[in-house]
Amino acid sequence: MQSASHPKIILILGSAPDVVRARQWQRAPFHEIVAINNAWRVRDDWDHLVHAGDFPAAVMPAQELMRQRSVHSAADYVPAQNAYGGFVYAGATMSLTTAYWALHALKPDVLAFLGCDMNYDSAGPTHFYGYGNRDPLRPDVTLQNLEAKTGRLLVSAARQGCLCVNLSHLETSRLVFPRVDIGRLKDWSLADVQTRLAGLLQRIDKTKLQRAENTERTLGYYFPTGEYWLFLDEIDGNQLQSLDSLWLAALGQSEPNTECGPCDI
């Protein structure tokens, strides 16, 4: 049972090569572990698998294992992402989709990410299992600025009382979340999380945040089925670029910045 003094920490595992670091970690301090697509293979104590609609059946976990765990696809994550504004604003890639699902379904105090940096600059394998599809880099109108989309997630989570953190040790990341080392995270109390959340919320430019939210409402790019690609003629990519800039500005950033090495918060 979760202690009132300890935060509910959810670990989200992606498929970047460094996700294998999680194999050495103890289960604590994680309340639940969410795997995205192939990341169910990283460690055997995951609780939830969130997979894309086109995820091949051949690489799914065995049926017996899936019966023992929670497995989710579009029927679950479309309503969850809609609750936070929909795919066009939240960003239609599985790291973001899974995060919004976890926010909606699991109500965490901390969302901790590993293997979700969406950084494919290295010359080696792109995924822990070799070479995979670089989905976040596809030419998609919802993914023009990954930093802005992760910034929107950071703000959305913080206003719900959840802190997003990045456990990666990579030098670069498309995630704008604060970095924290797993050794430090284990020692956090709920009060520690709340203090950091208060600091984050204090730094947000409220005027620019309001402009971003007003712009979303004015544009009205909301498609309840999640099939935004059927309505591309109604979506102005330039308007979305301007919206992305507003989200970054609300966080005090004028340009995307991936050059952020490991640091403690």
* Token pair recorded at residue 44: 């055997």
Torsion over CA of 236, 240, 242 and 245, rounded to 10 degrees? Answer: -170
- Cα 35 to the chain's mean position, in Å? 12
How many CB atoms are located within 10 Å of the residue 52 CB? 17
Pairing of strands 70-72, 48-50: parallel
* Token pair recorded at residue 11: 């670990």
Between residues 35 and 122, which one has the greater pLDDT? 35
Give the 3-state secondary structure of residue 66: helix
pLDDT confidence of residue 128 = 67
Region for residue 5 given its phi and psi (left: phi exceeds 0; alpha: psi -120 to 50; beta: otherwise): alpha
**pLDDT at 264 > cutoff 90:** no
What is the rounded average pLDDT for all residues in the chain? Answer: 91
pLDDT confidence of residue 198 = 97
Distance of alpha carbon 112 from alpha carbon 175, whole angstroms: 11
**pLDDT at 122 > cutoff 70:** no
pLDDT band of 234, cuts 50, 70, 90: very high
Within 8 A by CB and 6+ apart from 138, the residues are none
Q: How many helices (H) and strands (E) are present in the chain, helices listed first?
A: 9, 6
pLDDT band of 262, cuts 50, 70, 90: very low
pLDDT confidence of residue 120 = 79
Between residues 101 and 264, which one has the greater pLDDT? 101
**pLDDT at 58 > cutoff 90:** no
* Token pair recorded at residue 42: 């990283």
pLDDT confidence of residue 260 = 39
Q: What is the per-residue burial (b if ≥16 Cβ within 10 Å, else e) of 60-90?
A: bbeeeeeeeeebbeeebbbebbbebbbbbbb
pLDDT band of 166, cuts 50, 70, 90: very high
Give the 3-state secondary structure of residue 107: coil
**pLDDT at 1 > cutoff 70:** no
3-state helix, strand, coil in the chain (%, to 5): 45, 10, 40
pLDDT confidence of residue 127 = 78
Share of the chain above pLDDT 70, in %: 93
Q: Are 12 and 113 in contact (CB under 8 A)?
A: yes
